């Protein structure tokens, strides 16, 4: 059982929900990424998504696009990100998932990526542009390793497609709450509760909701519906605001701790 499954098993026993936070690797620096990751754990985060910056992030809104652009400009590479995770692992056992587009991984080599990622302490990966029908190469590569690909379901996913996604997602199912790109939204979409229930009728795997969540009230509401809440652009925006401050990690911790309280006390 890898770290992700252990974490969700413990949360279920404790009748708690997961808080998952996304940060862009190398924004504003890889050293900052390490410090922020450790602060996120101290602030009540259960799982960290580390985004691999890419020049054409089709699923990301303006906030993450800008962070990715700045990270790439500073020389961030997939190799450096894996070393960053390896450094985090010296101090933490929090589950870590990489969120990447396929291009950087294909360039690196699929088998090599899965092997090296697992060796460095990465627990899994999310690819917005990888459908489960095309995932056999990754699934073969991850056999015998504590590593798994997590697939995304969306508001437009049919029942048959949800079954396919549930079959291939070993650790949890990532439900995209909206049709469109990432980015903070002022209100939640009314279909979320209905669609999460539909997934849960198909699978007993944890369902976590992401995209568009920016307020504590939204996180509190969603934690009553889903098994986990994913915060991304809202956190990256705060990183951008304090990126030149020495107390960057602490500021992120303060911001995220409010979401942690909202999710855990729902």
**How far, in whole angstroms, is CA 128 from its chain's centroid?**
11
Average confidence score pLDDT of the chain? 92
pLDDT at residue 185 is higher than 50: no
pLDDT, mean of residues 203-212: 92
End-to-end CA separation in angstroms for the chain: 28
Structure tokens at 18: 């997961």
Q: How far is CA 150 from CA 39, 56, 168, 216, in A?
A: 24, 21, 8, 25
Cβ neighbour number for residue 127 with a 10 Å cutoff = 21
Confidence of residue 264 (pLDDT cuts 50, 70, 90): confident
| Distance, CA of 144 to CA of 130 (rounded, Å) | 21
pLDDT for the residue numbered 204? 95
Q: Is the pLDDT of residue 117 over 60?
A: yes
Position 122 pLDDT exceeds 80:
yes
At residue 188, does pLDDT exceed 90? no
CA-to-CA separations, 25 to 10, 34, 76, 253, in angstroms, rounded: 28, 9, 8, 17
Residues 223-250 have a mean pLDDT of 95
**Model confidence at 190: pLDDT above 70:** no
pLDDT digits (tens, 9 = 90+) for 4-42: 999 999 999 999 999 999 999 999 999 999 999 999 999
DSSP 8-state assignment for residue 134: G
For the annotated catalytic residues, the residue numbers are 49, 60
CB 76 within 8 A of CB 53: yes
Tens-place pLDDT, residues 57-101: 776 778 999 999 999 999 999 999 999 999 999 999 999 999 999
Q: Return d(Cα 175, Cα 156) in angstroms, integer.
A: 11
With cut-offs at 50, 70 and 90, classify the pLDDT of residue 189: low
**168, 202 Cβ separation under 8 angstroms:** no
List, in sequence order, every residue forming a beta bridge with 47; answer none if it has no partner: 20
Model confidence at 211: pLDDT above 90: no
Nearest-angstrom CA–CA distance, 195 and 245: 41
**Residue 241 · residue 208 · CB < 8 Å:** no
Q: How confident is the model at residue 191 (pLDDT cuts 50, 70, 90)?
A: confident
C-alpha 101/C-alpha 60 separation (Å) is: 11
**Rounded Cα–Cα distance for residues 134 and 69 (Å):** 28
Residue 114: per-residue pLDDT: 98
Contact between 94 and 46 under an 8 Å Cβ cutoff? The reply is yes
C-alpha to C-alpha distance for 244 and 32, rounded to whole angstroms: 10
Mean pLDDT value across residues 153-162: 92
Average pLDDT over residues 159-179: 90
Alpha helix positions (H), 14-158: 30-42, 62-73, 78-89, 102-108, 110-120, 136-141
Contact in structure between 123 and 92 (CB atoms under 8 Å): no
* pLDDT for 178: 62
Domain definitions of the chain by residue range: 3-264
Q: What is the mean pLDDT of residues 107-126?
A: 97
Q: Which CATH superfamily includes the segment(s) 3-264?
A: Aldolase class I (3.20.20.70)
pLDDT at 261 over 90: yes
């Amino acid at each position: 059982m890898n770290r992700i499954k252990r974490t969700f098993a413990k949360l279920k026993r404790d009748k708690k929900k997961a808080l998952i936070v996304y940060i862009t690797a190398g924004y504003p620096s890889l050293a900052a990424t390490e410090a922020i990751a450790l602060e996120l754990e101290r602030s009540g985060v259960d799982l960290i998504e580390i985004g691999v910056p890419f020049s054409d992030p089709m699923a990301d809104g303006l906030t993450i696009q800008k962070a990715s652009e700045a990270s790439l400009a500073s020389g961030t590479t997939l190799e450096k990100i894996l070393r960053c995770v390896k450094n985090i692992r010296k101090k933490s056992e929090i589950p870590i998932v990489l969120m990447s587009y396929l291009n950087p991984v294909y360039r690196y080599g699929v088998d090599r990526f899965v092997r090296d990622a697992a060796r460095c302490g990465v627990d899994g990966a999310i690819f917005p542009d990888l459908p489960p029908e095309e995932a056999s190469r990754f699934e073969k590569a991850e056999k015998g390793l504590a590593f798994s690909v997590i697939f995304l379901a969306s508001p437009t996913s049919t029942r048959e497609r949800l079954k396919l996604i549930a079959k291939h997602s070993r650790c949890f199912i990532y439900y995209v709450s909206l049709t469109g790109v990432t980015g903070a939204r002022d209100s939640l979409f009314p279909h979320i509760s209905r669609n999460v229930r539909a997934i849960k009728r198909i699978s007993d795997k944890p369902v976590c909701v992401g995209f568009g969540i920016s307020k504590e009230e939204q996180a509190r509401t969603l934690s009553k519906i889903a098994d986990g809440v994913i915060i991304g652009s809202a956190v990256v925006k705060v990183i951008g605001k304090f990126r030149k401050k020495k107390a960057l990690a602490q500021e992120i911790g303060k911001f995220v701790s409010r979401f942690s309280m909202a999710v855990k006390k729902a």
